[in-house]
Structure 1
Amino acid sequence: MNKAIVLHELGGPEVLKWENYPLTAPGDDEAVVRHTAIGLNFIDTYHRKGEFPLPAFPAVVGIEGAGIVEEVGKNVTEVKPGDRVAYTAGIGSYAEKRIVKSDRLVHIPDGISDIDAAGIISKGMTAEAMLRRCYRVKEGDTVLIHAAAGGMGLIMSEWCKHLGATVIGTMSTPEKAELARAHGCDHTILYSSENFVERVREITNGELCDVVFDSVGATTFLPSVSCVKRRGTLVNFGTSSGPVPDLDMGLAYKAGSIYVTRASVIDYTVTREEVVESSTALWDVIMAGGVKVNVNQTYALKDAAQAHADLEDRKTTGSTVLIP
């Protein structure tokens, strides 16, 4: 019997239950993946709480994983049984096995472990989309990354530094600042005790930033407008502190005709070609040493409730992986 973390209602971490969960045969364009590692992401907590709606109950959350293909549908050409694969896809990864659309599966290169692949595939492809296609970071840019010591933040800091940018990161504690500096941040700002807008002005001598990457939302979004230079870009791609407040477009005009977007990796990985392009760029930068995989915590899958509690209490750094 397949086991999974199942939700029958919305709520806190306590609604995550370790139960038997049926597994059907794959459809014509689907594959069965036996998980060896499952990535934990902040979006999982949004699904659990209902901030992002679930289609029905019972439900299984989780959007990324790695493992072995066990069975494929009759029209599947992308993978075959026995292949080692990873994916980021729709909800359902908090399970020993799941069915995945085959066009979402990508092969894991030799030299990258299943745990590392599960810990980075979703965040890494999101980072790729944000800094290579939503805004193309280039040598000489000045970049501000909020929550720079988190799973996404560490990846983006390293990748931006690899591309030749000056990286400014915000975080909550001195310990997280030290971690961020070890992973590409040239400058760190403790937003719990410092005004990050004033510090950005000091660090850049008033020149401000070419781009701000904001995964925090409510507490950082509007002040971040003041950190963007003329015709620069503000990218919001997460809401860990709450929903983004409404933006008076007059503020974007007064800030110097800046560009503002609420971006999602979903819209940058629509086709099979985009999925392969994004994952290949991620594997390449890892293999080149530009980005390190930072799986700093692992939990048994059955302990997903504790993992959620620790994530929301900001007790984690880097990436977290659940092991079936």
Structure 2
Amino acid sequence: MKAIVYHQYGGPEVLEYVDLPTPEPTENEVLVQIGASGLNPVDTYFRSGVRPVPSFPHIPHFDLAGSVVKVGANVTKWKVGDRVWATNIQGTAAEYQVVTEDKLFSLPDHMSFAEGAAVAMAFMTAHLALFARGKLSSDETVLIYGASGAVGQASVQLAKLVGATVIATAGNEEKAQVAKEAGAEHVILYRSEDIVKRVNEITSNTGVPLILDMSLSDNIERNFEMIKNRGRIVTIGSPNNNTPTLPWRLLNAKNASLQGILLFNAEPDEIQAAGEEIAKGLADKKLKAHIGAEFSLAEASTGHAALAEKKYNGSIVFIP
């Protein structure tokens, strides 16, 4: 099979398009012919060495959508021909991958494999952040930073699916439109508007009970100005500074909580429950993928460079 590998840490140029043996499923696994592999920011952290990989050569990416082509003897949930998607699967930048049956979710016929791969990590992370950590309910308002990005846009859709009110932030009018199309009632252009002032106006100075933050170090102090008493702040990342200073006094003053979310360490039952709800939303056409660009698998270096340069709104996917 064809696959992407890298033999050392580095930039997009270390990615190689190679031939590898096709894996064989064990008794509890299925073999998936990958129709699309999704790219996420975390993939660049592993490729560059910010996070270590187990060994070299290493096949990148964690998201896939495709068709089941072989099943192990003990597999009962899936059969050959089933269309599936999955996330948190090591090594999906390839034509085939083996997956344990419990990590796969159904992909409806109306969705392409590219759309399935674009949904995977973004929607799973968003769902865990909103509900497993944030405990969002239908009568609440949530502030979602970076709502035109893959996780942000997914968060808006999922929040609207349960009936919550969404305040979103965006960097420009084009990105604001993405957030509005996803369902956000209010969009704050953070480059030209004061986020705290606008949130106070929208909430009549009561603040928001939940904040989803994509860059904690940039927003941590203003978050404590906007969070409602006993509110919850869930941070999905802090790319500009991994060790931001925590203003503990402000956290205590609001009786608030600050929580993180990392998909790789999430509990299996949380992932299973979230995946089933996402799959139902996709099947009912209430959730949709947000694709920024598609590349062939052989163009992996180009796609990784595009992600680093923030060329596209939405997910980048690769087609084997």
Counterparts of 1:20-31 in structure 2 under 5 Å?
20-31=19-30
Q: Deviations over 1:128-164 (max 9, x none)?
A: 2222222232223111111100111111112212322
1:1-324 equivalence runs, <5 A: 2-254=1-253, 256-271=254-269, 274-324=270-320
SS class of match (1:188)? strand
TM-score normalized by the length of structure 1: 0.90
CA contact (8 A) 1:67 1:114 kept: yes
1:275 to partner: Cα distance: 4.2
Amino acid at match of 1:316: Y
CA positional deviation for 1:21: 2.6
Q: Kindly tell me: are residues 108 and 146 of structure 1, through their superposed partners in 2, closer, same or farther at Cα, counting changes over 3 Å?
A: same
Instruction: Show CA shifts across 1:247-294 (max 9, x none).
Output: 24333102x1101101123444514xx444222211222344432222
Shift of 1:305: 1.7
Asked whether the equivalents of residues 25 and 71 of structure 2 are also in contact (C-alpha less than 8 Å), the reply is yes
Paired with 1:58 and 1:18, the residues of 2 have a C-alpha distance of: 12
- Paired residue type of 1:303: E
Q: What is the RMSD computed on CA atoms of the aligned residues? A: 2.1
Residue 79 (structure 1) shift: 2.2
Question: SS state of the match for residue 268, structure 2?
Answer: coil
Q: 1:64 to 1:13 in 2, by over 3 A?
A: same
Aligned length: 320
1:158-184 CA distance string (max 9 Å, x none): 221232222111122221112211221
Query: Which AA in structure 2 matches 1:110?
Result: D
The amino acid across from 2:143 in the alignment is L
Cα pair 2:12 2:305 within 8 Å, conserved? yes
Structure 1 residue identity aligned to 2:164: A
Query: CA offsets per residue over residues 10-50 of structure 1, 9 Å max, x none?
Result: 12222222122333422332222110111121111121122
Q: Secondary structure at the residue paired with 1:45?
A: helix
**Structure 1: unaligned runs, 5 residues or longer:** none
Deviation of 1:58 after TM superposition, in Å, equals: 0.9
Compute the TM-score of the two structures, normalised by the length of structure 2.
Answer: 0.91
Q: Within 2, Cα distance between the matches of 1:216 and 1:112?
A: 31
SS of residue in 1 equivalent to 2:294 = strand
Contact 1:149 1:318 in 2 (8 A): yes
Question: How many angstroms apart in 2 are the aligned matches of 1:128 and 1:217?
Answer: 19
* Aligned-partner SS, 1:281: helix
Query: Which residue identity is paired with 1:264?
Result: L
Look up the SS of the partner of 1:139 in the other structure. Answer: coil
Give the Å deviation of 1:62.
0.6
% of aligned pairs identical?
Answer: 34
